[in-house]
Amino acid sequence: MSDQQPEFAQHDATYRLAVIGPGALGTLFAARLALAGIAVSLLDYRPERAGKLDRQGIRVLDDQGAQAVQVPVTADPSVLHNVHAALVLVKAYHTDDVAAVLARHLPEHAVGVTLQNGLGNLETLQRHLGSDRVFGGTTAQGALLEAPGMVRDTGSGPTVVGRPDGDIDSRLDDVVQALLLAGFSVSITRDVQAAIWTKAIVNAAMNPVAAITRLRNGALAEHAESLKLMTAAAREAFGIARRHGVMVEEQQWQARLQTICQATAPNINSMLQDVLHRRRTEIEAINGAIVRTADLRHQPAPVNRSLWYLIRTIEQSYALRVES
């Protein structure tokens, strides 16, 4: 996978973006784009919440304090009629619904860009919009939604984007320039599937183990047992990706996971946040998707299958009340 560091270019003042999803990352991306002077709107599917956020604005918290920014927030998809790109940052289980909305409302020249967790989001958007209008990618940017419209920037990480066919595209350059202006670290890749799978492998290793153990990222690497379990999940998922024809770069997975855990030590990862709030997780698009890929080639996946089943069981337990 060859990544390109894009050159910083003059921003087109007429360029307009929509961010889909008012979760932690969606709120942070919309706020930072607005702070950089980019014309951006945040699209929510709940009208009442959208109206509240539109009135009160967004607050971005970091180690330096808090910064307020006014971002147009709406539940009306007609806001998409005038945008050049829509940045999709909803949970993976909402992708199909979002893709259908984009297909109805995005102008023909506009593109959809997914930076979501998990596998299959890119393909879902392509089914609705066509392969030429969808870019994929990943982000390691950290964010924690402390309340609706109040997001904490928990640490900068690389964002990688690219066309599925690896071609050069001026529309991709426009998206990258907007993200660069907003202060994100962005590179363009010629192998976006490898980037997506690499992120999915790391998520498959860390996220369910954190959600099961209730440990923050840093603590995951401090215990030999959790580190061994994460490493086994990553190695297994890597083998499945390579067997499936995705050229993920081979890693020293234990060392890689230790480094990521230490670099994001205070973070409560997204799956653990979901479990703590008794919400649906993205396990189906992460470990579940990896197992389904393995099943296509009759490849064993006992570690990822076990993590998938455990998180599904936790989700199903939300409705149960444990008697004392």
Residue 319, pLDDT score: 83
Residue 11, pLDDT score: 58
Q: Among all chains, which residue has been given the structure tokens 């419209």?
A: 149
93, 312 Cβ separation under 8 angstroms: no
**Which position has the higher pLDDT, 198 or 154?**
198
Report the distance separating Cα 16 and Cα 40, nearest Å: 6
Residue 21, sorted as left (phi over 0), alpha (psi -120 to 50) or beta, turns out to be: left
Residue 324, pLDDT score: 40
Amino acid 293 reads: T
Tell me the pLDDT band of 156, cut-offs 50, 70 and 90.
confident
Residue 19, pLDDT score: 98
**Which position has the higher pLDDT, 111 or 321?**
111
Tell me the pLDDT band of 142, cut-offs 50, 70 and 90.
confident
| Secondary structure of residue 88 in the 3-state scheme | strand
| Per-residue pLDDT tens over the stretch 236-274 | 999 999 999 999 999 999 999 999 999 989 888 999 999
- Among residues 52, 91, 199, 228, the one annotated as catalytic is 199
**199 labelled catalytic:** yes
Report the distance separating Cα 207 and Cα 119, nearest Å: 14
Residue 63, pLDDT score: 84
Tell me the pLDDT band of 87, cut-offs 50, 70 and 90.
very high
Q: How far is CA 171 from the centre of its chain?
A: 20
The answer on pLDDT for 155 being more than 90 is no
Other CB atoms within 10 Å distance of the CB of residue 225:
9
234, 205 Cβ separation under 8 angstroms: yes
| Per-residue pLDDT tens over the stretch 294-323 | 999 999 999 999 999 999 999 999 987 555
Residue 1, pLDDT score: 44
The answer on pLDDT for 25 being more than 50 is yes
The answer on pLDDT for 7 being more than 60 is no
In sequence order, what are the residues at sequence separation of 6 or more whose Cβ sits closer than 8 angstroms to the Cβ of residue 317?
none
309-316: long-range contacts (C-beta < 8 A, 24 or more apart)? 310/208, 310/212, 311/208, 311/211, 311/212, 311/271, 311/275, 311/281, 311/283, 311/287, 312/283, 314/211, 314/212, 314/275, 315/280, 315/281, 315/283
Nearest 5°: CA angle at 39, between 63 and 100?
A: 100
- Domains of the chain, first to last: 3-190 (3.40.50.720), 194-316 (1.10.1040.10)
In sequence order, what are the residues at sequence separation of 6 or more whose Cβ sits closer than 8 angstroms to the Cβ of residue 289?
118, 119, 120, 200
The radius of gyration of the chain's CA atoms, rounded to the nearest angstrom, is 19
